[in-house]
């Protein structure tokens, strides 16, 4: 079976993606900054490796330990809910280091072997905020828009060698703990003039009736990998699909 390497597997989308590929019988390399071997059912086809996508040495060691990689899923990401004035530039750079440069570094590390074999798939997990702009997400949206632009151009380059690049656009996923993890890591120092505004944003985000589940994202990634004619962008989740249609995009 092919070998898939997935980043950011400690929870949420990455964990569900890894579980899906294990269930399908693939050879899976599930990576995370701090390995937690109890998360995914044990399998002879599963490797769990330490990987920090912002650290070049960590990337090199993980790629060497993984063996041949047929599919790369760049899922590792950091969230941020805040207005621009509430975010220090150091935190903005930290966000881009993971969400954009981490995906670029992983792709650059894996692409040569795919190019040599003239086959492979690279799937980048972005966000539907690049379809529907939302307030208090300007920095996060900018990082995901950058990831989109990178992937779309990469797809043209990689196609020369039979390698596909695809984007997954999840919607809001309140059950994953992504928001809490983001606050714990990035902080949420809301400037006083924006306080009520941000609270209104939070209330609006939580009051929706359509959301995205980790399984929605795992299904979308599976289709992007296994369907050779899969679209460049695939929305994942009921809310993401709704936004996608309203933006004038056709659903595959």
Residue 43 lies in a domain: yes
Structure-block tokens of residue 108 = 């650059």
Q: Check residue 50 and give its pLDDT.
A: 97
* pLDDT, position 40: 72
Structure tokens of 202?
């939070």
Could you give the CA distance from residue 220 to residue 234 in angstroms, rounded to a whole number?
7
Higher pLDDT, 208 or 251: 251
Sign of the Cα pseudo-torsion (243, 246, 249, 252, in order):
positive
pTM to 2 decimal places: 0.93
Range 169-190 average pLDDT: 66
Asked, for residue 252, whether it belongs to a domain, the answer is: no
In a domain, 135, yes or no: yes
How much is the average pLDDT of 14-28? 95
* More confident call, 175 vs 215: 215
Say if residue 90's pLDDT is above 70: yes
Going from the C-alpha of 73 to that of each of 77, 167, 186, the distances in angstroms are 12, 10, 24
Q: Is residue 179 part of a domain?
A: yes
The pLDDT value given to residue 179: 53
Q: In this structure, is residue 97 part of a structural domain?
A: yes
Residue 106 within any structural domain of the chain: yes
Range 208-216 average pLDDT: 88
43: CATH: 3.40.50.720
In the annotation, is 194 catalytic? no
Q: How many domains does the chain have?
A: 1
Name the active-site residue from 13, 21, 140, 243: 140
The interaxial angle of helices 103-117 and 56-66, nearest 10 deg, is: 30
Print the domain residue range for 215. 3-246
- In a domain, residue 7? The reply is yes
Q: Give pLDDT tens digits for 48-64.
A: 999 999 999 999 999 99
**pLDDT on residue 44:** 86
On whether residue 207 sits in a domain, the answer given is yes
Whether the pLDDT of residue 246 is over 60: the answer is yes
CA 207/CA 201 separation, integer angstroms = 10
């Amino acid at each position: 079976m092919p070998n898939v390497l997935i980043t950011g597997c400690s929870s949420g989308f990455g964990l569900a993606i890894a579980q899906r590929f294990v269930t399908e019988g693939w050879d899976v390399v599930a990576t995370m900054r701090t390995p937690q071997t109890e998360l995914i059912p044990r399998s002879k086809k599963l490797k769990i490796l330490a990987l920090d996508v912002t650290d070049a040495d960590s990337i090199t060691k993980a790629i060497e330990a993984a063996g041949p990689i047929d599919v790369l899923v760049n899922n590792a990401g950091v969230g941020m809910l805040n207005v621009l004035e509430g975010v220090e530039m150091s935190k903005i750079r930290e966000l881009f280091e993971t969400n954009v440069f981490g995906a670029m570094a992983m792709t650059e590390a894996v692409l040569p072997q795919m190019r040599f074999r003239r086959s492979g798939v690279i799937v980048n997990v972005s966000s539907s905020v690049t379809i529907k702009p939302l307030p208090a997400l300007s920095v996060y949206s900018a990082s995901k828009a950058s990831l989109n632009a990178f992937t779309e151009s990469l797809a043209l380059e990689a196609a020369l060698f039979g390698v596909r690049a695809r984007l997954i656009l999840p919607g809001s996923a309140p059950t994953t703990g992504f928001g809490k993890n983001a606050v714990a890591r990035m902080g949420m120092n809301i400037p006083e003039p924006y306080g009520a505004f941000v609270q209104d944003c939070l209330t609006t985000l939580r009051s929706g009736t359509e959301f995205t589940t980790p399984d929605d994202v795992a299904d979308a990634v599976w289709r992007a990998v296994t369907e050779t004619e899969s679209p460049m962008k695939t929305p994942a989740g009921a809310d993401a699909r709704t936004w996608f249609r309203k933006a004038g995009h056709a659903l595959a």
